[in-house]
Amino acid sequence: MSRENSFSAKAIRAGYDSKDHFNSVNPPIYQTASFDLHDIDRTRRLWTGAEAGGIYSRVGNPTGGILEARIAELEGGKAAVALSSGMAAMTYTLLLLGQGGGNIVSGSSLYGAAMLNLLDFLPKYGITTKFVEDRNNPAAYEELIDENTKAIYLESISNPNIELYDIDAISEVAHKHGVPVVVDNTVATPYLYRPFEHGADIVIYSATKEINGHGNVIAGLVVEKGYFPFDEKKFPQFYYKNWKMRDLNDNKRSPVEFIPGAPVIASLKLFFTEFFGGALGSFESYLVLQGLSTLTVRLDKKIQTTKKIVEYLESRDEVEFVRHPYAKGNKFKELADRDFPLGAGALLSFGFKGTREQEGEFIKALNNFSYHVNIGDVRSLITNPPENTHTELEPEIHKLADIPKNLIRLSIGLEDAEDLIADLDQAFEKAFK
């Protein structure tokens, strides 16, 4: 028997056969708006899903199809869709699950735009959110679930607080009530954590971050585990038979029939990319594929550097606290040891023990940390979330999410740890001279 390929091999080869693409070693960039249909019989096969192939790039393209197949295999999922951003991945998924109204039960420490999406944008479309204050307690999620709950939403590693969650226990609670679990796995990636193995049902990504890893593309992904038992009364959208999904004999079909086991991806591909747009472009898909091929070696180095940066920051009198499972006394260490054996990511935050003016001097003095709002880059990055990534949230939400005014977030890149520590060292000296 042949052994199954490792994660690294799949990240390079999954979902691609060069013989299907003119023997090109790299996945080609299919930079075209439309595709030749050739004849009316093939047209019918394409429009009914009987044959896979390019039609019109607004709804997808072959380069994106390779990325979708690769991420689905890396996650252990049934199917995937590549979208124009991580926020598109989140918003499309929750709009679909909450179609017709309902509520989301969510952790209360999230990326700023995700938090505002749940607080302010989705309610305009009849989808409200109940935030779990005791977010590390699985029982607290169950207390908020009711007959109108359409999903539980979490980040596997929260941004910017670097919190971890017992997704196994939370998923068990959700499934008791027929509720799917949606996990944003952006910081962890499928290399460090595979949410489906812990009970999650849908995984989303900002592929802009660690998956691409080079700061040169905006991209999103949605992956469906497959075969979640969506209740027809609660989720009628997956059972509605539609002419657009008809078969070769003109029998109307529903999403559960169009892609058996993956009605979420079927709906996103056939309706959301059709009417909202937002399918990932061919060049952007190519860039994500290129980045994905080096994911393991990038994260392995970043994690080792992160450990050294955490230890360094803990030694500085100018640092009030350090948030990462590697930090001394961190309450998530046991969960990290259990669920993240390869490492708990390369994002960390700390409390700056100084004035706002000193904080500004510290950031300005840095040379090997770029000051901008991305994460997961090859470059090390620094930002102050209360004044940029989370500034759109009102003060009471900062309190709920535990984002103090002195919070600084670091995204560790591929520079050597010694270079980063020396840079932080001189910046602290200048700020507190």
pLDDT (tens digit per residue) in 190-233: 999 999 999 999 999 999 999 999 999 999 999 999 999 999 99
Residue 18: pLDDT band by 50, 70, 90 thresholds?
Answer: confident
Query: Any residues with CB less than 8 A from the CB of 158 and at least 6 apart, and which?
Result: 107, 109, 110, 164, 165, 187
CA dist., res. 63 & res. 16, Å (int): 10
Q: Are strands 181-184 and 149-155 parallel, antiparallel or unpaired?
A: parallel
| Alpha-carbon separation of residue 312 from 316, 317, 419, 421 (angstroms) | 7, 11, 12, 7
Confidence of residue 335 (pLDDT cuts 50, 70, 90): very high
What Cα–Cα distance (Å) separates residue 389 from each residue in 111, 132, 216, 246, 408? Answer: 7, 21, 19, 44, 11
Q: What is the per-residue pLDDT across 106-152, written as a single tens digit (0 to 9) for each?
A: 999 999 999 999 999 999 999 999 999 999 999 999 999 999 999 99
Segment 261-289 mean pLDDT: 96
For 212-346, strand residue ranges (E) read 220-224, 319-323
Mean pLDDT, the chain, rounded, equals 95
Question: What is the predicted pLDDT for the residue at 1?
Answer: 54
22 pLDDT tier (thresholds 50, 70, 90): confident
**Sequence-separated (6 or more) residues with CB below 8 Å from residue 367:** 423
Q: In this predicted model, what pLDDT tens digit does every residue of 87-113 receive, in sequence order? A: 999 999 999 999 999 999 999 999 999
Average pLDDT of the residues in 252-267: 97
CATH topology of domain 7-291: Aspartate Aminotransferase; domain 2 (3.40.640)
In this predicted structure, what is the pLDDT of residue 433?
86
Nearest to 374 by CA among 220, 157, 209, 214: 209
Q: How far apart are CA 213 and CA 162, in angstroms?
A: 19
Whether pLDDT at 367 is above 70: yes
Can you tell me the distance from the alpha carbon of 300 to that of 273, in angstroms, rounded to the nearest whole number? 35
- pTM, two decimals, is 0.95
Query: Distance of CA 73 to CAs 4, 11, 225, 294, 299, Å?
Result: 12, 9, 10, 16, 19
Tokens of 180: 């799917």
Query: Which residue bears the tokens 């078969």?
Result: 247
Q: What is the pLDDT of residue 2?
A: 61
Confidence of residue 5 (pLDDT cuts 50, 70, 90): confident
Span 254-267, average pLDDT: 97
**Domain boundaries along the sequence of the chain:** 7-291, 296-431
pLDDT at 198: 98
Task: CATH number for 296-431: choose from 3.30.70.1060, 1.10.3720.10, 3.40.50.10480, 3.90.1150.10.
Answer: 3.90.1150.10
